């Protein structure tokens, strides 16, 4: 697949704008859908997204639009970068303008609360019969601000067809943004969504000043939980040892740019989640995903004690100090035992 015209990017948050910048740096014209009309005008006039990516001069090949059809119609390749809680609505709105045989790359990390579907699962539900669209997902350790600064970054692109994945890989990869391909789409999606929940837990640990031992234990046991969930859903266990798995988990649990870790730190310091979120402009996906993971794990019978306790802190106002005690005093087990 080689785009015959501009590439569409749906969503102008920090990550969507950054991906548009990467693709424009590669030499492609990019049509970027901006939800906020005022922000769309600002990007056109100042060549900056001062709301979500301030201080970054945007490539002149990026064309901002407020009309969805201008970004979707006639585009062979479409990158979807909208928050998971609005993903279904935006995907449904995109469908009337999609070209037959278009490739959609999902760059959103999350699991829908009501249906417990990943973003590719949402596409399977909303695509009408007969419309052939290849849906892929892009995930890995990639803070938007660092990529926008052209810091060397590597991520994973997963799809159902290796040849299409390779084609998109060559379109988007640059000298500072390296893409590896995978055929484990569900594994990459589960890893990308679940790591945000563990990052909340790591943040709580840091907020309670527990130190490096505790954080290392949380990351390691969190990876075990994520792997159990992914394998139960048919993933390749090696995916969780790659960029979309341990790579993204490490970044999100330790990096100061992590919104999920930042929320966790404030929870660990005793603040309430509603007060924390009221002050945030950008989305911390782990807050909503914690609910999805909680019910998904229950539905398919996977024990995820850390994710379970994160859910209880967020949605049942449980004291993090009680959570720590309960996690540490669980029945002693073999490290590789299911539910350990």
Which residues, at least 6 apart from 26, have a Cβ–Cβ distance to it below 8 Å?
171, 172, 173, 174
**Which of these, 250, 227, 221, lies nearest to 310 by C-alpha position?**
221
**Which of these, 136, 135, 244, 250, lies nearest to 190 by C-alpha position?**
244
CA distance 99 to 17: 23
State the residue for tokens 């006639």: 74
Query: Could you list the active site residues?
Result: 195
Q: Angle at the Cα of 247 (from 79 to 274), degrees rounded to 5? A: 75
List Cα–Cα distances, 116 to 98, 105, 294, in angstroms. Answer: 25, 20, 10
Beta 153-158 vs 134-139: how paired, if at all?
A: antiparallel
Q: Angle at the Cα of 102 (from 33 to 130), degrees rounded to 5? A: 120
- The CB density around residue 97, as the number of other CB atoms within 10 Å, is 18
Q: Strand locations in the chain, DSSP E? A: 7-10, 30-33, 62-65, 77-80, 103-106, 134-139, 153-158, 177-182
């Amino acid at each position: 697949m080689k785009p015959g015209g501009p590439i569409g990017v749906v969503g102008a948050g920090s990550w969507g704008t950054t991906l548009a910048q990467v693709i424009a740096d590669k030499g492609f014209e990019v049509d970027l859908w901006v939800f906020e009309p005022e922000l769309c005008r600002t990007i056109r006039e100042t060549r900056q997204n001062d709301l979500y990516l301030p201080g970054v001069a945007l490539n002149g090949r990026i064309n901002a639009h407020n009309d969805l059809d201008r970004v979707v119609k006639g585009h062979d390749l479409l990158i979807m970068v909208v928050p998971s809680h609005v993903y279904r609505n935006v995907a449904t709105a995109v469908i009337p303008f999609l070209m037959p045989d278009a490739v959609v790359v999902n760059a959103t990390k999350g699991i829908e609360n009501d249906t417990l579907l990943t973003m590719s699962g949402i596409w399977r539900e909303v695509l009408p019969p007969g419309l052939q669209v290849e849906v892929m997902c892009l995930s890995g350790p990639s803070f938007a601000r660092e990529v926008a600064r052209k810091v060397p970054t590597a991520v994973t692109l997963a799809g159902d067809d290796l040849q299409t994945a390779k084609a998109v890989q060559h379109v988007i990869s640059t000298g500072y943004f390296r893409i590896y391909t995978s055929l484990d789409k569900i594994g990459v999606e589960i890893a990308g969504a679940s790591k945000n929940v563990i990052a909340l837990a790591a943040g709580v640990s840091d907020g309670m000043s527990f130190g490096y031992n505790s954080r290392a234990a949380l990351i390691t046991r969190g990876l075990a939980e994520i792997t159990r969930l992914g394998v139960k859903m048919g993933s390749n266990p090696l995916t969780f040892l790659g960029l979309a798995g341990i790579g993204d988990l490490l970044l999100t649990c330790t990096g100061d740019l992590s919104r999920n870790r930042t929320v966790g730190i404030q929870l660990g310091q005793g603040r309430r989640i509603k007060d924390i979120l009221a002050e945030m402009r950008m989305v911390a996906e782990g807050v909503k995903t914690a609910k999805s993971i909680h019910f998904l794990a229950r539905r398919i019978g996977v024990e995820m004690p850390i994710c379970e306790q994160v859910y209880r802190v967020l949605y049942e106002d449980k004291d993090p100090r009680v959570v720590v005690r309960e996690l540490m005093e669980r029945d002693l087990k073999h490290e590789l035992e299911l539910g350990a």
